[in-house]
């Protein structure tokens, strides 16, 4: 019986890294278009609301947001350590709590749509 909590942290990190690599660039591209004044049809209120209102849409959105948040938190923790911030336990606690809080908030907002 493995007695390490590492897989629990590591699995969503690896899954999140994959999700970030495949999907975050194109999502950033979409909101960049909106930032430059060319809002894509898919980002209008009707289309976004319909997408986030469907069960499949909710599942896709919460997967992307929660996994990306967790992966970013883990990478930021490593980044802090590499830049010389050696209070790893405090950094890890703050970042992981932030990732969990963000995921819960995202789930609550999705359920309201």
Is 72 an interacting residue with respect to another protein (CB under 8 A)? yes
Give the one residue of 10, 29, 59, 88 binding another protein; rule: CB under 8 A: 29
Rounded to the nearest 10 degrees, the angle between the axes of helix 55-82 and helix 45-53 is: 90
68 and 16 Cβ atoms separated by less than 8 Å: yes
Q: Taking the chain, what is the end-to-end CA distance rounded to the nearest angstrom?
A: 42
Q: Is the backbone of residue 38 left (phi > 0), alpha (psi -120 to 50) or beta?
A: beta
Position among 8, 42, 55, 89 found at the interface with another protein (CB under 8 A): 42
Nearer to another protein, 3 or 110 (CB): 110
Which residues contact another protein by CB under 8 A?
17-18, 20-37, 39-43, 45, 47-49, 52, 61, 64-65, 68-69, 72-73, 75-76, 78-79, 82-84, 86, 102, 105-106, 109-110, 112-113
């Amino acid at each position: 019986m493995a007695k390490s909590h590492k897989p629990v942290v590591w699995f969503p990190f690896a899954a999140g890294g994959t999700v970030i690599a495949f999907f975050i660039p194109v999502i950033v591209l979409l909101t960049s278009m909106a930032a430059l004044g060319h809002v894509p049809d898919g980002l209008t209120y009707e289309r976004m609301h319909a997408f986030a209102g469907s069960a499949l849409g909710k599942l896709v959105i919460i997967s992307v947001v929660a996994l990306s948040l967790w992966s970013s938190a883990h990478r930021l923790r490593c980044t802090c350590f590499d830049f010389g911030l050696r209070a790893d336990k405090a950094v890890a606690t703050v970042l992981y709590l932030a990732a969990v809080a963000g995921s819960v908030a995202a789930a609550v907002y999705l359920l309201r749509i």
